[in-house]
Structure 1
Amino acid sequence: MIKAINKDVQLLSQVSQLASRADLPIAQDLKDTLAANGDHCVGMAANMIGVPKRVIIASLGPFPVVMFNPVIIAKSGPYQTQEGCLSLAGQRSTTRFQKITVRFTNEQWTQQELSLDAFPAEIVQHEIDHCNGILI
Structure 2
Amino acid sequence: MVREILNTKNQVLRNISKPVVRVDKKIKGLISDLKETLLVQKDPEGVGLAAPQIGKNVRVFVMKPESAVRVIINPEVVKTGSRSKKEEKSPKGRKIMEGCLSLPNYYGPIKRKEKIILRYLNESGTPKTETFLGIEAQIIQHEIDHLNGTLFVDRLLEQKKPLYEYVNGEWEEVELV
The reply to whether TM is greater than 0.5 is yes
Greater relative contact order: 1 or 2 (C-alpha under 8 angstroms, separation 6 or more)? 1
Q: CA deviation at 1:25?
A: 1.7
Whole-Å separation in 2 of the counterparts to 1:67 and 1:24: 12
**Match of 1:33?**
37
- The C-alpha deviation readout for 1:41-70, integer Å capped at 9, x for no partner, is 000100011111100101143311011111
**Is 1:45–1:130's contact at 8 Å kept on the other side of the alignment?**
yes
**Match of 2:56?**
51
**Aligned amino acid, residue 3 of structure 1:** R
- Which structure has the greater CA radius of gyration? 2
Q: Which has the higher strand share?
A: 1
Please give the TM-score of this superposition, normalised by the length of structure 2: 0.70
Confirm whether residue 107 of structure 1 aligns to residue 123 of structure 2: yes
**Match of 1:13?**
14
**Aligned amino acid, residue 109 of structure 1:** G
Whole-Å separation in 2 of the counterparts to 1:53 and 1:128: 11
**How many aligned positions are there?**
135
Gaps of 5+ in 2: 84-94, 153-177
**Match of 2:133?**
117
**Is 1:2–1:32's contact at 8 Å kept on the other side of the alignment?**
yes
Confirm whether residue 87 of structure 1 aligns to residue 102 of structure 2: yes
RMSD of aligned residue pairs (Cα, Å): 1.9
**Aligned amino acid, residue 29 of structure 1:** D
Displaced runs of 4 or more, over 4 A: none
Residue 126 (structure 1) aligned to one of 135, 142, 145: 142
Q: CA deviation at 1:82?
A: 3.6
